[in-house]
A and B are shown apart, each in its own frame.
Chain A
Amino acid sequence: MHSFGYRANALLTFAVTILAFICAIASFSDNFSNQTPSAQIQILNINWFQKQPHGNDEVSLTLNITADLQSLFTWNTKQVFAFVAAEYETSKNALNQVSLWDAIIPEKEHAKFWIQISNKYRFIDQGHNLRGKNFNLTLHWHVMPKTGKMFADKIVMSGYRLPNAYR
């Protein structure tokens, strides 16, 4: 009964159980962090705005993004993935989400930032509905833990409008 094999087995089982328990607690502790992220986005310029040869509208923007995501970081946070998406409704689609810019924030020190950038991904509509279109800019974040449950949230900023004519 008390052979080497049994002792090794018992020790391994115990160690794995404790490890799993600690991982679960670490993930659970994320629920108690106090999160107060903030963000502002301005559209500095419409670089160009045109209809592609095959009929889809495409626009290029310069954005000014100010955000403070420091409060998202806890001891179980590996990284925060933040991105800005343009969200709007068209006659064809009930929801369009087009990612314009994203960043991986590996450390808390880099989570308070100010950046001026033109869109990293192409802002193309499915169709030609962008002239005079009202849209939201949403800052989304996805928190990747060292272990356990991932969580995500967003700040919606509304009241942006594209020009009435191509340029």
Chain B
Amino acid sequence: MGWIGETVDSIKSIKIRQVLTQTVTLGMIVTSALIIWKALMCVTGTESPVVVVLSGSMEPGFKRGDILFLHMTEEPIRAGEIVVFNVDGRDIPIVHRAIKVHERGNTGEVDVLTKGDNNDVDDIGLYADGQIWLHRQHIMGRAVGFLPYVGWVTIIMTEKPIIKYILIGALGLLVITSKD
């Protein structure tokens, strides 16, 4: 029989109360993760407080798989800051450095030009057709902190979904069969 038999036995021996407890525990884990994420959104003021670097355009500073912590305040954007921005018509946000900033005096409106440290040319080619400046509404946040390698977990899970399902399945089985 081996461990398969033991697993089957343990599934058979599950009591309704135990199942309920485990469901609640699982629910608590999921909701606390959600709470932490939403709280981070409030504190940092950006809709994605943590982003994973997907391209090598900021190497050697940021490599693929590194994690950046974002912060968005009312403070104006300044040249040299690493900003995360969305371009109309593109799904994936881009992490690049602001190299030119022109700020109006009365309205505070701002024109920003960005460039990846590892790229030879500025980002005008990446922007939407006819767009030559980024404005405030395109910018999701500025990078303030850095953690290497951790983002590989999400990259692997996105690119090889099978690993994600194996992992979720194994964890689920562990929760169901644990007896404490």
Asked if chains A and B come from one complex, the reply is: yes
Q: Which residues in A have some Cβ–Cβ distance to B below 8 Å?
A: 1, 5, 23, 27, 78-79, 81, 83, 85, 92-99, 102, 104, 106, 121, 126, 140, 142, 144-150, 152
With a cutoff of 8 Å between Cβ atoms, the chain A residues found around residue B117 in the complex are 81, 102, 104
A95 and B146 form a contact (CB under 8 A): no
17 more CB-based (< 8 A) A-B contacts, given A78-B61, A97-B100: A93-B105, A94-B105, A95-B103, A97-B79, A97-B101, A98-B100, A99-B79, A104-B60, A121-B99, A121-B100, A126-B111, A142-B81, A144-B61, A145-B146, A148-B145, A149-B144, A150-B82
Check A152–B80 contact: CB distance below 8 A.
yes
Whether A96 and B101, one on each chain, are in contact in the complex, defined by CB atoms closer than 8 angstroms, is yes
Residue of A nearest to B174 (CB): A5
B104 sits at the interface (CB 8 A) = yes
- For the complex, is B52 an interface residue (Cβ under 8 Å from A)? no
- In this complex, the member of A99, A104, A126 whose beta carbon has the largest number of chain B beta carbons within 10 angstroms is A99
Residues of B within 8 A of A (CB): 60-62, 76, 78-82, 97, 99-105, 111, 117, 122, 143-148, 174, 180
Please report the C-alpha to C-alpha distance between residue A148 and residue B80 in the assembled complex, in whole angstroms: 18
Nearest Cβ on chain B to A83's Cβ, whole angstroms? 6
CA distance A58 to B104 in the complex (A): 20
A147-B99 in contact given A81-B117, A104-B60 (Cβ < 8 Å): no
Closest Cβ–Cβ distance, residue A125 to chain B (whole Å): 9
Chain B residues whose C-beta falls within 8 Å of the C-beta of A83 in the assembled complex? 79-80, 99
Given known contacts A98-B100, A126-B111, A142-B80, is B60 in contact with A79 (CB within 8 Å)? yes
A41 to chain B, nearest CB (A): 16
Closest to B177 in A: A5
In the complex the two chains form, is B99's CB within 8 Å of A99's CB? yes
How far in angstroms is the closest Cβ of chain A from B73? 15
Q: Which one of A27, A81, A97 lies within 8 Å of B61 (CB-CB)?
A: A81
B149 to chain A: closest residue by CB: A147
B101 and A95 contact, CB distance less than 8 A: yes
Distance, CA A106 to CA B180, complexed state (A): 52
Q: How far is the CB of B69 from chain A (nearest CB, A)?
A: 9
Q: Interface centre among B79, B117, B146, by most A CB within 10 Å?
A: B79
Min distance, Cβ B173 to any Cβ of chain A, angstroms: 11
Contact check: which of A27, A85, A92, A106 meets B79 at CB < 8 Å?
A: A85
Contacts known (A97-B100, A104-B60); A148 close to B79, Cβ less than 8 A: no
Docked-complex contact A149 and B145, CB < 8 angstroms: yes
- Residues of chain B within 8 A (CB-CB) of A78 are 60-61
What is the bound-complex CA distance between A38 and B148, given in angstroms?
30
Q: Quick check: B101 and A146 within 8 Å, CB to CB?
A: no
Given the complex, which residues of A lie within 8 Å of B81, measured CB to CB? Answer: 142, 152
